Amino acid sequence: MTTLQPYFAPDTIEARSFEIIDSEVPEPRPFTGHLWEIARRLIHTSADFDLLNHLTIHPAAVAAGLAALRSGCTVFTDTEMARSGIPLRRMEPLGCRVQCLLNRPDVVAAAKANGTTRAHAAMDAVRAELGGSIMAIGNAPTALIRLMEHLDAGGEAPALVIGMPVGFVNAAESKELLVGQSVVPFIAIRGRKGGSPLAAATVNALAEIALRG
């Protein structure tokens, strides 16, 4: 019979989870400092230690993300799931807002008029709003591909792109486009893995660091 751990109060469960993750990834770890805080939260969200083999963080990504959050940026997400996974208790003290693009009326109308996906239309609709923002993509490779086309054409760049679309059709390929460019700092999970919860977790990790000052 399995022996259960003693009861943990709700506000200690996360800390205990981090302790377990730290113990199961002994030093020297593949990431240190703030990078490890991001990696650890991704593992905490997914219980998937293999993410450490796929996580790629641009050298300027953390500094860019923290500066954007501390300046009260907008965080754009490609799904409502990602938006709802970034709590206001982290965003409001920083003066930030989180906006899901897919349900914006202009995006819905443009997708219908042009016969494209909402993810594609969303990147077109938000072009003028990208400067200083954080773009968190956890579901739609189409969104990331369209964003890369926009950047390749010399369009305004976000402060940080979190590229973690999940799946089998163009997910891995879209992230390789992100990793291979030199315009914008990024945090990516290469390959097929990813998802909205992981994109949200990345924003949450950065916000926790930013809130510490």
Here the tokens at position 163 are: 């590229």
Beta strands in the chain, from DSSP E residues, in sequence order: 55-57, 74-77, 97-100, 134-137, 160-163, 186-189
Which candidate in 34, 44, 54, 120 is catalytic? 44
Cα–Cα distance measured from residue 166 to residue 193, given in angstroms and rounded to the nearest whole number: 5
Would you give the distance in Å from CA 125 to the centre of its chain?
Answer: 20
Number of residues that this document lists for the chain: 213
What one-letter code names the amino acid at 34? Answer: H
Catalytic site residue 120? no
**Cis peptide bond upstream of 93, omega within 30:** no
Contact call for residues 208 and 36 (beta carbons, < 8 A): no
With 0-12 / 13-18 / 19 or more C-beta atoms within 10 angstroms meaning exposed / middle / buried, residue 6 is exposed
Count of helices and strands (H, E) across the chain: 10, 6
Catalytically annotated residues: 44
